[in-house]
Amino acid sequence: MKIDRLLGIVVLLLGRKRWNATELAERFEVSVKTIYRDMETLGLAGIPVASHHGAAGGYEIMEQYTLNRQLASAKEWKALLAAVKGIASALDDQAYHELLAKVNALLPQAAHEEHARQGEELVFDLQSWGSGLELKPKLALLQQAITESKVARLRYASSAGTESEREVEPTALIMKGSIWYLQAYCRRKQGFRMFRLTRILSLSLLLEDFEPRQSPQLEGLIWRSSWGADQETLMLMHFQPQVKHRVYDAFPNVFITELADGSLQVTGSFSLDEWFYGLLLSFCHHVKVLEPSWAAEEIKRRAQLIFEIY
């Protein structure tokens, strides 16, 4: 469409590169005469496109035009650019790559020059460690389901270790921390649920469309109740100095107290599910559960099962 081509030309010219008519014609797969007419249209629309003749000639948008219309500072544009880059790399969707080109074009020339000298100041890498290639197809398929309102069928492994097949109506993809989740209306449970993408064992889209429902707000306590109704238990744990770095990775700083001998005490409320027990066992003999006693006994029971395997 002509309007798409005109917008595309403006985006390219905002990138500060001078383009000649032949290059633009090849880029948009039209004739050079069409590009000449497009330039006249842009001029009539009030966009100050300058034409330069000669071997190094071509079209460019006057510098002052963009500077007078900045919606944000150079620092803010660079932060936005970094965020869009992260999204584009994670979702690998052409629409986000096009958005990246548009945001990059809006970056002032001074910011481009500074970037060339100093490199990236801010990087958002939204791909999970070791599972980026595995997640990308799921993300792409679920994004399609959300955009087209298609019912998805998935086989899911719960935190309790059980597997089930669900038909869901996908509504949102969420990254919480470094973990991707799907928010969807589960027809089996008749309510909105959160599904961790790494636990989706198989996924397919059905031909059936669904009518979008009123979905819950993804904020505060709604998040916690959506992830599971497990009751939290107040825990007191003691960790050896050797795993100090891992303790700070795994628990909020406000839960951690450093003791005089270099060891750490962690006090906080947690959902004692399979994931949490697995986390504690990963610390091996460097952690001891002090309270409650029944949680300590459960750790002993699980450790004994591991011992019996070997």
Domain ranges of the chain: 2-67, 74-118, 132-227, 232-309
CATH 2.30.30 fits 132-227, yes or no: yes
How far apart CA 158 and CA 193 sit, in angstroms, is 12
Per-residue confidence (pLDDT) for residue 67, from 0 to 100: 43
How far apart CA 17 and CA 212 sit, in angstroms, is 43
Per-residue confidence (pLDDT) for residue 132, from 0 to 100: 54
94, exposed or middle or buried, with CB in 10 Å at 0-12, 13-18, 19+? exposed
Amino acid at 72: A
Q: Show Cβ contacts of residue 109 under 8 Å, excluding neighbours closer than 6 positions.
A: 16, 63
Q: What SS3 state is found at 156?
A: strand
> Whole-model pTM?
0.56
Q: Which of 47-51, 109-113, 187-191 has the largest mean confidence?
A: 187-191
> Given a cut of 60, is residue 79 above it in pLDDT?
yes
Overall fold of domain 232-309: Alpha-Beta Plaits (3.30.70)
145 vs 47, residue with greater confidence: 145
Asked if residues 58 and 23 have their Cβ atoms less than 8 Å apart, the reply is: yes
CATH architecture observed for domain 2-67:
Orthogonal Bundle (1.10)
Per-residue confidence (pLDDT) for residue 101, from 0 to 100: 74
Q: What is the arithmetic mean of pLDDT over 203-231?
A: 70
> Given a cut of 90, is residue 158 above it in pLDDT?
no
How far apart CA 163 and CA 2 sit, in angstroms, is 51
Which letter, b or e, does each residue of 11-35 get, where b requires 16 or more Cβ atoms within 10 Å of its Cβ?
bbbbbbeebbbebbbeebeeeeebb
**Per-residue pLDDT band at 180 (split at 50, 70, 90):** confident
Asked if residues 21 and 36 have their Cβ atoms less than 8 Å apart, the reply is: yes
Percent above pLDDT 90 for the chain: 32
Q: What is the arithmetic mean of pLDDT over 35-45?
A: 85
Q: At 273, give phi and psi (nearest 5°).
A: -110, -175
**Poorest-confidence range of 136-140, 141-145, 289-293?**
136-140
> Given a cut of 60, is residue 228 above it in pLDDT?
no
**Poorest-confidence range of 54-68, 141-155, 234-248?**
54-68
Asked if residues 181 and 196 have their Cβ atoms less than 8 Å apart, the reply is: yes
Q: Of the candidates 144, 117, 118, 139, which has an alpha carbon nearest to the alpha carbon of residue 128?
A: 139
How far apart CA 290 and CA 177 sit, in angstroms, is 28
Using a CB cutoff of 8 Å and minimum separation of 24, what contacts does 133-141 make?
A: 134/198, 135/180, 135/197, 135/198, 136/90, 136/91, 136/92, 138/197, 138/200, 138/203, 139/90, 139/91, 139/92, 139/173, 139/180, 139/197, 140/91, 140/92, 140/93, 141/203, 141/204, 141/205
**Poorest-confidence range of 99-103, 111-115, 260-264?**
111-115
- Both tokens of 273, joined, read 């599910």
Q: What confidence tens digit (pLDDT) does each residue in 240-260 have?
A: 999 999 999 889 899 999 999
Per-residue confidence (pLDDT) for residue 98, from 0 to 100: 73
> Given a cut of 60, is residue 273 above it in pLDDT?
yes
Residues β-bridged to residue 239? 264, 287
Q: What is the arithmetic mean of pLDDT over 208-224?
A: 71
Per-residue confidence (pLDDT) for residue 68, from 0 to 100: 46
Per-residue confidence (pLDDT) for residue 225, from 0 to 100: 44
> Given a cut of 80, is residue 154 above it in pLDDT?
yes
Per-residue confidence (pLDDT) for residue 50, from 0 to 100: 83
> Given a cut of 80, is residue 171 above it in pLDDT?
yes
